[in-house]
Chains A and B, each alone.
Chain A
Amino acid sequence: MTLLELDNIVVEFPTRRGPLEAVKGLSLELNEGQILGLVGESGAGKSITGAAITGLIEPPGLIRSGQVRLRGQRIDNLAPEKMRRIRGKEIGAIFQDPLTSLNPVYTVGEQLIDTMRVHLGLDHKAARKRAIDWLAEVGIPAPEARLDQYPHQFSGGMRQRVVIALALCAEPKLIIADEPTTALDVSVQAQILALLKRLCRENGTAVILVTHDMGVIAETADRVAVMYAGRLVEIGDVAQVIQDPLHPYTKGLMNSIPQIGNRDARLTQIEGAMPGLRNPAPGCAFAPRCPQAIDTCRTLRPIPVDAGSGQVACHLFGEAQ
């Protein structure tokens, strides 16, 4: 069943030199319990897409047009207080840096308990009991003693486990995990991802996993969406996109899938750089870097068409059909 739909989302930041579109009309669907990998170069708009879903785009930025629907209900135009109730309870978020994501002056227990009391209406005692269960669930040894400790008393990997517990404790149906392991030690990354995957599978939680790491995607995701310069260029099942990518940009990305956790193998294999978001040229944003570009690519913007196990936005592909 469809959990989340993005319908032609445009996210705009007013700047001194005129509006800047960070996301330029993005549509995608996510089913319940599905894990979607969201990849793309730095600045492609991945984090902003996540922020658009949770309603946390920093003003003066705004969703200029399009809709975000959760189980068919629009959530992009809700009153702040209504949206707040959805955050944490329906849509959770995990950020990049576990070291700074936890409040340094409150115990991890207090932060867990507060979150559950806000969303689940538990009393303090019940919330405390659940908090201990959650710490155990995310693999923290001696959870009862650990509950009353402060974040600085945990290692980086342990803190990210706490962050996962915090994001999941109100049992959301969707988690947006924005590079949840980038800041961690290579040896810990795989463990954390395996934990996240296991918990989400068990609870039927869908995940949008933002990452630079194709290895992580191959290991964790069901589907992959590839973003380029604020647009979706390809979306499909993970096996198809990795083994048989359709878009030339995706092909470039897949040229060498690094092993999981290999930091050096960032998405930099393609010559050139992503164009600025301001004053985009007509045509396909990837055309200047595309080894297969034809004349049409420089004048006409490709629209996503059904292909393979999903969609692709590329003239070449349309012609090949």
Chain B
Amino acid sequence: MFAFLLRRIVQAALVMLVVASIAFLMFRFLGDPISNLLPEDATVEERADLREKIGLNDPFVVQYGRFITNAAQGDFGQSYRNNRPVSDLLAERFPATAELVLVAASLALALGIPLGIYTALNPRGWISQGLQVVSLLGISVPTFVTGILLILLFSVTLGWLPSFGRGEVVDLGGWTTGFLTLSGLKALILPSIMLALFQMTLIMRLVRAEMLEVLRADYIKFARARGMPNRMLHFKYALKNTLIPVMTIFGLQLGGLIAFAIITETVFQWPGMGFLFIQAVNFSDVPVMAAYLVLVSFLFVVINTIVDLLYHVVDPRLRVEKSTARGV
């Protein structure tokens, strides 16, 4: 187990190094930072001074080393656009994205798994068939379309829910939360539905397919032949086997949720990291773009590693080291 953990951490570190290198190259190739930092009418001397001061004249390797060292400490320099440390900007925006993704992921799981189980256990019922059709829509309609339709229905026509922003937020020592006010909660509803919809249909279809497969397995047939009640057969013997692969896919999708949040945040003007990133792209604010790239990749890697570890905890077949140590 320890060797496995070590191997995963080394792999994760390598991935992060590659990502950081890509981020570094963005600085080199996406425009000249000097022209972004100084006013249009700056003199040639002023430009040369700044160039020397922020180290752009240093050899490539030195610049690269400096970037990686700083990035590892969470320092991505100043934003070109508003001259504040990029880390501050991201820290400010992080809670908004985190809460959105958390609610969306919970929603996707809380609905996707039961619906998947239901459709697998009643494959011929008209509710199941209806859900299958709807889920096909959920997978094929682009998320921004669903978002706009949601706004049209619930904000414009019915006027029940806000169409943009986070509502009122409460500051809990640097973490701004929308969970504690009514307007904050209301503002969360539409964006999290939009973000969750695709994942939910995906999870539902995945659970359904896995469960149907598992229900055909010999060990379920044998358990049925032993007269185990359906309740135990479905929700104990079959469910655990179903959820192990679903968990892996969901872990991968969780990273996807953070990335997809860019679209949702743009549609709903949600003040999260994704919205910050889109604004940064418009202004060629390279430090923010680089930092976002590194941070999202970091979250991806962390989540994947955790999922992998969980997989080993849940699936006894993968606990090889432990079993041989204990084997008779």
Chain B residues near A249: list those with CB within 8 A. Answer: none
Interface-located stretch among A95-103, A218-226, A251-259, A295-303: A95-103
Q: Which residue of B lies closest to A119 (CB)?
A: B227
Interface secondary structure of B, over-half rule: helix
**Is the CB–CB distance between A114 and B241 below 8 Å?**
no
**Is the CB–CB distance between A153 and B327 below 8 Å?**
yes
**Is the CB–CB distance between B219 and A101 below 8 Å?**
yes
- B227's partner among A85, A104, A145 (CB-CB below 8 A) is A85
**Is the CB–CB distance between B218 and A101 below 8 Å?**
yes
Instruction: Let me know if B317 is at the binding interface, CB within 8 A.
Output: yes
If the complex has contacts A104-B316, A149-B323, A152-B317, are A88 and B221 also in contact, measured as CB distance less than 8 A? no
Q: Which of B230-262 contact A (CB under 8 A)?
A: 230, 232, 236-237, 240-241, 244
Instruction: Let me know if A13 is at the binding interface, CB within 8 A.
Output: no
A152 vs B225: C-alpha distance when bound (angstroms): 21
Chain A residues near B326: list those with CB within 8 A. Answer: 145, 149
Chain B residues near A86: list those with CB within 8 A. Answer: 227
If the complex has contacts A118-B232, A142-B328, A150-B323, are A103 and B219 also in contact, measured as CB distance less than 8 A? yes
**Is the CB–CB distance between B222 and A93 below 8 Å?**
yes
Instruction: Let me know if A45 is at the binding interface, CB within 8 A.
Output: no
**Is the CB–CB distance between A87 and B226 below 8 Å?**
yes
A240 vs B241: C-alpha distance when bound (angstroms): 48
Of listed A92, A105, A118, A152, residue having the most chain B CB within 10 A: A105
Q: Which of A123-160 contact B (CB under 8 A)?
A: 141-142, 145-146, 149-150, 152-153
Q: Which residue of B lies closest to A100 (CB)?
A: B218
In the assembled complex, the CB of A83 is this many whole angstroms from the nearest CB of chain B, namely: 8
Instruction: Let me know if B228 is at the binding interface, CB within 8 A.
Output: yes
Chain A residues near B241: list those with CB within 8 A. Answer: 103-105
A153 vs B316: C-alpha distance when bound (angstroms): 10
Q: Which of B149-191 contact A (CB under 8 A)?
A: none
**Is the CB–CB distance between B237 and A103 below 8 Å?**
yes
Instruction: Let me know if A317 is at the binding interface, CB within 8 A.
Output: no
- Residues 100-121 of chain A, each 1 if its beta carbon lies under 8 Å from chain B, else 0: 1111111100010011001100
- A105's partner among B228, B232, B244 (CB-CB below 8 A) is B244
Chain B residues near A150: list those with CB within 8 A. Answer: 316-317, 323
**Is the CB–CB distance between A153 and B323 below 8 Å?**
yes
If the complex has contacts A105-B316, A118-B232, A153-B323, are A146 and B224 also in contact, measured as CB distance less than 8 A? no
Chain B residues near A84: list those with CB within 8 A. Answer: 227, 229-230
Chain B residues near A114: list those with CB within 8 A. Answer: 228, 232, 236
Chain A residues near B244: list those with CB within 8 A. Answer: 105
Instruction: Let me know if B309 is at the binding interface, CB within 8 A.
Output: no
Chain A residues near B218: list those with CB within 8 A. Answer: 95, 97, 100-101
In the assembled complex, the CB of B124 is this many whole angstroms from the nearest CB of chain A, namely: 10
**Is the CB–CB distance between A166 and B226 below 8 Å?**
yes
Instruction: Let me know if B5 is at the binding interface, CB within 8 A.
Output: no
**Is the CB–CB distance between A89 and B227 below 8 Å?**
yes
**Is the CB–CB distance between B328 and A170 below 8 Å?**
no
Q: Which of B185-239 contact A (CB under 8 A)?
A: 217-230, 232, 236-237
A97 vs B317: C-alpha distance when bound (angstroms): 18
User: Which 8 interchain pairs have the tightest Cβ spacing?
Assistant: A88-B227, A87-B227, A88-B226, A93-B225, A100-B218, A150-B316, A103-B219, A101-B222
Contact sample, A vs B, 19 pairs, CB 8 Å cutoff: A56-B225, A87-B227, A92-B226, A93-B225, A93-B226, A101-B218, A101-B219, A103-B219, A103-B223, A104-B219, A105-B317, A111-B223, A114-B232, A114-B236, A145-B328, A150-B316, A150-B323, A153-B323, A170-B226
Residues of A within 8 A of B (CB): 54, 56, 84-89, 92-93, 95, 97, 100-107, 111, 114-115, 118-119, 141-142, 145-146, 149-150, 152-153, 163, 166-167, 170
Q: Supply 6 further A-B pairs (C-beta < 8 A) apart from A101-B218, A105-B317.
A: A86-B227, A100-B217, A104-B241, A115-B228, A119-B227, A141-B328
